Structure 1
Amino acid sequence: MSRPPIRRVSFDSLSLRDLHDLLALRSRVFVVEQASPYPDIDGRDPGALHLIATDTSGAIVGCARCLDPDEDGPDAPVSFGRLAVDPSQRSTGLGRALVAESLAILVERWPERDVVIGAQQHLERFYGSFGFVRITESYDDFGIPHIDMRLRR
């Protein structure tokens, strides 16, 4: 199975169908599959650059969002998150491709800034393979153990 293509889309360029399907994928993965009733609509999507992967039928099967810094100053880190892959596309390399594309975007936009993410704890080795290191103890994020990780630049 070949990996679906990934496109970069600003929030304002999302079609209503894409927005619906993007939120539906995140809900299926994070809320239903992982049984984590978290507040997905957090106000950060409008300012994010979204990555969307679609299969041959046009269905969204993977996504991520790249975020501006949370604070001012040259040392404020940047981040990406809400990375979700449909079960039909797991083990295809799509998750790795979404992380790589997210990092490429962040390097283009903020080449000197570290990247800090909140990662599900069971994915520590996965993110570690990109150079991320754990910077916090485990914490509960709506029923899912998480850790913060940093990629220094």
Structure 2
Amino acid sequence: MPAPPIRRTAFDALTLTDLHDLLALRSSVFVVEQSCPYPDIDGRDPAALHLIATDGKGDIVGCARCLEPDGEAPDATVSFGRLAVDRSQRSTGLGRALVVESLAVLSERWPGLDVVIGAQLYLERFYGSFGFVRETEPYDDFGILHIDMRLRR
């Protein structure tokens, strides 16, 4: 089964239903499935470009957010995160498609800036397949081991 299509949406263009369903998916994956109570609403969503994948019924089944540059030139970097895929869409390539689309957005908006992400440790090989390289030792982020990874551009 092919991965669902992905649309790009500014925060202000999200419908209330989209926002509800987006936050529900993130909560389902990051808080419930991973047993990790953490502050998902961190104030960064309004400035982010959101990637949303919907199934044939219009339900949100995947998401990610692309973030503006962090820092000042020449050390500025960009990032994406909050990448979540509903259980029903795992192993369809949707996670990979969300990373590809995230990298495309970041390249279009901020060409040449390195991409730095905080990745769950178990996903190191997955992100490595896109060219990301580990920059830190594992660290605890609300009970889940993470590493910082960079894609040089």
- Indicate if the aligned counterparts of 2:120 and 2:145 stay in contact, CA closer than 8 A: yes
Is it true that 1:109 corresponds to 2:120 in the alignment?
Answer: no
Matched, 1:133 2:137: no
Aligned to 1:76: 76
In the alignment, the residues of structure 2 paired with residue 25 and residue 85 of structure 1 have an alpha-carbon distance, to the nearest angstrom, of 8
What's the C-alpha RMSD, in Å, of the aligned pairs? 0.6
Alignment of 1:2-151 (within 5 A): 2-151=2-151
Gaps of 5+ in 1: none
In the TM superposition, what is the alpha-carbon distance from 1:83 to its structure 2 partner?
0.1
Structure 1 segments, 4+ long, off by >3 Å, are: none
Q: Distance in 1 between matches of 2:131 and 2:123?
A: 13
Question: 1:75 & 1:115 partners in 2: Cα distance?
Answer: 11
Unpaired runs of at least 5, structure 2: none
State the identity as a percent.
80
What count of residue pairs does the alignment treat as equivalent?
153
Q: Counterparts of 1:71 and 1:130 in 2: how far apart (Å)?
A: 23
Aligned counterparts of 1:56 and 1:65: Cα–Cα separation in 2: 22
Secondary structure in structure 2 of the residue aligned to 1:130: coil
Question: Which shows bigger deviation, 69-78 or 108-117?
Answer: 69-78
Q: What is the TM-score when the length of structure 1 is the normalising length?
A: 0.98
Q: Distance in 2 between matches of 1:134 and 1:56?
A: 37
